[in-house]
Amino acid sequence: MKPKVYVTYPISNEVEAFLSKSCDVQKWEGDGEIPRDLLLKEISDVEGLYTSRNTGGVVDEELLINAPNLKVISTVSVGYNHFDVEAMNKHEVIGTNTPEVLDETVADLAFSLILSTARRIVELDRYVKEGNWQSDTKYQETYGKDVHSSTLGIIGMGRIGEAIARRAKFGFNMDVLYYNRNRKPEAEEKFGAEYCDLESLLTHSDFVVLMTPLTPETFQIIGAKEFKLMKESAIFINVSRGQTVDENALIQALENKEIYGAGLDVFELEPVEVDNPLLKMPNVVAVPHIGSATARTEEAMAMRAAENTVAVLTGKEPIDRIS
């Protein structure tokens, strides 16, 4: 008998066919996140849970107790802060994620946010479409900031950080500073990236990109003190997780013009609440957590998660083990 796998993420026929060769696949086919009580019911006898950061909710002690046969939980995401890794280790459940296949796509998004915030693309697009571009428009009022030849500070120099650094160095002739738990000699050599402490990075960067995973150490790593250290002309970009920033401090920093603008893919609460003050600010570009959201990359991530699931359920080591 094939092992049962419950899937909460919408998979393609190709991914389903791959999983079905080795597993008995059951799926959530509703929209968005599966209701928790239904999930707990559906997984009570499965050996695999195939999920994602926004379709399956959190993996915690309650879920693990409720699904005693579980051997593997695969998330279609690189971030796995929705997993209680300690509890998974305790229950001897293997966790897997999907690094690498999304690096370039997330780096593209980080750069889109840098460019669109610096050159005020969203604000000026609205300006044109609302009919405000008239013959007496003051050209100076459309000025933004140069991205090329400026200084980019990357907090979290993992694979995605490196993909951002490559774009910065070779595409935009930028100086790259980085702050990371460990030094990355290769990134220093390849992109001329300069390792520095957080304070120096914040003080000297024109663009500060937050790319660190969310962990107890990085929770609200950027708050009021850090925004005060940034240049008044600085642009803050967050493509990591909303909780790596003290969002109220960000709102204050923008309201008090301590920084110039922000490009945000992630928010403390997602979906972001419609009355969040950030959404009213013309100097904030906001997108709905779309770092890896291209059809090609999401398919590659989905297949990678399927490979991880099947590996564990057929007695092999998964490619991307996290617990």
Catalytic residue set = 241, 270, 289
Q: How many CB atoms lie within 10 A of CB 79?
A: 18
Catalog residues that contact ligand DGY under the rule CB under 6 A: 53, 77-79, 102, 106, 289, 291-292
**180-215 burial by CB neighbour count: b if 16+ within 10 A, else e?**
beeebeebbeebebbbbeeeebbebbbbbbbbbbbe
Q: Cβ neighbours of residue 273 under 8 Å, at least 6 residues apart?
A: none
Distance of CA 286 to CAs 121, 152, 296, Å?
Answer: 12, 20, 23
Backbone phi, psi, residue 15, to 5°:
-65, -40
**How many C-beta atoms lie closer than 10 Å to residue 96's C-beta?**
26
Nearest residue to 242 (alpha-carbon basis) of 206, 261, 258, 218: 218
Cα angle vertex 264, ends 299, 114, to 5°? 90
DSSP assignment, residue 77?
S
In the complex, least distance from residue 81 CB atom to ligand DGY, rounded to whole angstroms: 8
How many beta carbons lie within 10 A of that of residue 317, not counting itself?
A: 9
Q: Which single residue brings its beta carbon nearest to ligand DGY?
A: 291
Distance CA 71, CA 260 (A): 48
Nearer to ligand DGY, 156 or 291 (CB): 291
